[in-house]
Amino acid sequence: MVDFSVNAKGMRSSEIRHLMKLAANPSIISFAGGMPGNELFPVDVLDELYNGLSRNAKQVALQYGPTPGYPPLLDSLKSYLQSRGLPFEKQGLIITTGAQQAINLMTKVLIDPGDLIVTEYPSFIGAVAAFKSYGANLTSIELDSDGIDIDKLEKTIDGRASQIKMLYLSPHFHNPAGIIYSEERKRALIKLLSGRPFCLLEDDPYGELYFDEADKPLTVPIKACAGESLPVCYVGTFAKIFGPGLRLGWLLAPQPVIEKCELAKQSMDACSPTFTQVLAHEYLSRGKLAPYVAWVRPIYARRAKLMLDALGETMPDGVSWTTPKGGFYVWVTLPPTIDSTEVLSRSMAEGAAFVIGSAFDPHGVRNNTFRLAFSYTPEEKIEKGIAIIADAIKALM
């Protein structure tokens, strides 16, 4: 029986519930939700896919499926992942109930209470919550605009090598930091990690969502770049390229890891929803992914540009932020004396919301930061919302 109180703050779900309340209140401009705007989902494609299913396919969709996943989806997903350069030799693939379950399974099969997991700072709330729920100890290494600080990572590895069981990274359009790893940083990382006795868990929910075709080479997964000397466990999801409500993610990892995850998943939820797996297979095999992401990328890019322009126009000196090349997020850093909880409180009173920085600190402390998501907010509301937050910050400076 695990003490869950450590997870009570900044949990992803309470965040979502809070946001749904906010979203229901049309007077609040919310940059809090790390999710696509409802109007961006491919509903017409969904109708086409559903209505194209045979009676037999609908029966299969209502039935149990194998724990590793609906076999046709495993095949179509493999083709897709191979097109992104991912290797399949000696690897296994398992469909999970969202990327969250993939992270949870990895933790369940690899981590004993007290084991050390190295994360980035800041890091994804849901991963940190999963790590803590199995009693892991966490240490975090700062990100700069090109990725994790390699020198600090090397010192941590050298100092505590025997305790470390996993390194958790999200190299593409990081949640919440908004940055993407440079190719040089990925190379340095692979060099540093090769031959080490712990696992690299690479989380890649946003890699497809680059704004500029010229940046596509930056989204090649570490798992695709690394050779056999660095066995990477790679997590992805349909959440940002189709819809989170499908609850479908995946884990591509060395076969022995996948076998353990399959056993753990059997008693966790037996299988992921066959219903949505059948639809996801149609989505991939009928070639619906590429046109959807091609359509949605410039929409996110416009929202990001509006947000960055508004930040540039309104934020006082001493406030800095990241400039995303894709994904959903801008990460804002305030002067050290300003607490983002106070900024949030003032902003909410005037009608704008975001997520405070301490939610993304594995130790729940550092809070002169906050996350802005531009993915959920219609264009016409962005400028006004940022102005409200800027006023709140100015009032505290």
Instruction: Please give the residues from 245 up to 264 whose contact with its own copies meets the rule CB under 8 A.
Output: 245-247, 260, 262-264
Residues 85-124 that bind its own copies (CB under 8 A): 96-98, 100-101, 104, 108-112, 115
Q: Is 176 in the site for its own copies (CB under 8 A)?
A: no
Q: Is 63 in the site for its own copies (CB under 8 A)?
A: yes
Cβ-based nearer residue to its own copies, 130 or 284: 130
Q: Is 65 in the site for its own copies (CB under 8 A)?
A: yes
Q: At a CB cut-off of 8 Å and minimum separation 6, what does 109 contact?
A: 257, 260, 261, 264
Give least dist CB 117 to its own copies, A. Answer: 12
Phi, psi of 95 (to 5 degrees): -80, 135
Strand 137-144 to 147-148 pairing: antiparallel
Distance CA 321, CA 308 (A): 9
Binding mask 213-252 for its own copies (x = CB under 8 A): --------------------------x--xxxxxx-----
Q: Is 69 in the site for its own copies (CB under 8 A)?
A: no
**Distance from the Cα of residue 355 to its chain's centroid:** 15
Phi, psi of 92 (to 5 degrees): -120, 160
Beta bridge partners of 29: 352
Cβ-based nearer residue to its own copies, 332 or 355: 355
Cβ-based nearer residue to its own copies, 172 or 240: 240
Give least dist CB 100 to its own copies, A. Answer: 5
Give least dist CB 9 to its own copies, A. Answer: 11
Residues 16-35 that bind its own copies (CB under 8 A): 16-17, 20, 35
Cβ atoms 260, 109 nearer than 8 A: yes
Q: Is 267 in the site for its own copies (CB under 8 A)?
A: yes
Q: Is 73 in the site for its own copies (CB under 8 A)?
A: no
- Considering only CA atoms, which of 277, 370, 353 is closest in space to residue 24? 353
Q: How far is CA 140 from CA 88, 205, 292, 363, in A?
A: 30, 20, 35, 9
Q: Is 276 in the site for its own copies (CB under 8 A)?
A: yes
3-class DSSP state of 325: coil
Residues 334-353 that bind its own copies (CB under 8 A): none
Binding mask 125-164 for its own copies (x = CB under 8 A): -x--xx-xx-------------------------------
Distance CA 122, CA 148 (A): 10
Q: Name the one residue in this structure whose structure tokens are 């990274």.
A: 169
